[in-house]
Structure 1
Amino acid sequence: MVHEFAHATSAEEQESLIHQLNQIRSDVSSMYTIAHIRNTINTQDEFYKTEHQFFDQNLPRMEALENEFYHALVGSTYRVELEKQFGTQLFQIAELAIHIFAPDIVEDLQETNQLSTEYNNLLASAQIDF
């Protein structure tokens, strides 16, 4: 989708791709939230444990793709038209995101996610007798 965006031939085409991307991000966010909640409720449920592990590994990859998109967005030939449609805040967010993310940290983010999940599972498995 980033390639399509970068090679779009009109502002309308880029606008459509932004809407598609936002829908994908919304769907992924919903799926992650469900997996996280279900995994937190029962850390022994293998299905949601596997789902959560999937997101631990792939959300950083998605962040890397999102960063590529932000590079394309900021450098868009149709930036003026897109700013009229989406506002300048989107571009400010994109510019800031470009500066705080580097593809080199994807593996570190994956490890951080995994360790955070292990810690949460450890806390959730505590059993206290009254």
Structure 2
Amino acid sequence: MDQEQEWREKLTPEQYRILREKGTERPFANKYYDHKEEGIYKCAACNNDLFNSETKYDSGSGWPSFWQSISKDKVAVKKDSSIPNIPRVEVLCNECKSHLGHVFEDGPQPTGLRYCINSAALDFEKN
């Protein structure tokens, strides 16, 4: 069985579309955008720790937003030119290379970053 077939069997169709095909879920209609519990947000594909609830904030975007990842080695970023004339920076799980969302430079201090992440790309582990 090839790797993509394994992902199809492990993930829900929505998770596969987002994590493996670089899709996006609807704003304000996703699991974690208004989630307030304390804990760790993990990659839904490989369970890699990604974001701590202490860095989550309400960006008004309709997606879970974080101003920092747990550590720089947990997520990867790369230039995304998929929409002409709209430069973006894609956020990937550094462990399994799944698409998580995008990062923008309009977030709060101390980093000034807004990691805008799809809820379907995340699992949550309560503290």
Q: Would you call these one fold, judging by a TM-score over 0.5?
A: no
User: TM-score by structure 1 length?
Assistant: 0.24
Which structure has the larger Rg over C-alpha atoms? 1
Q: Which has the higher strand share?
A: 2
Structure with the larger helix share:
1
Tell me the TM-score normalized by structure 2. Answer: 0.24
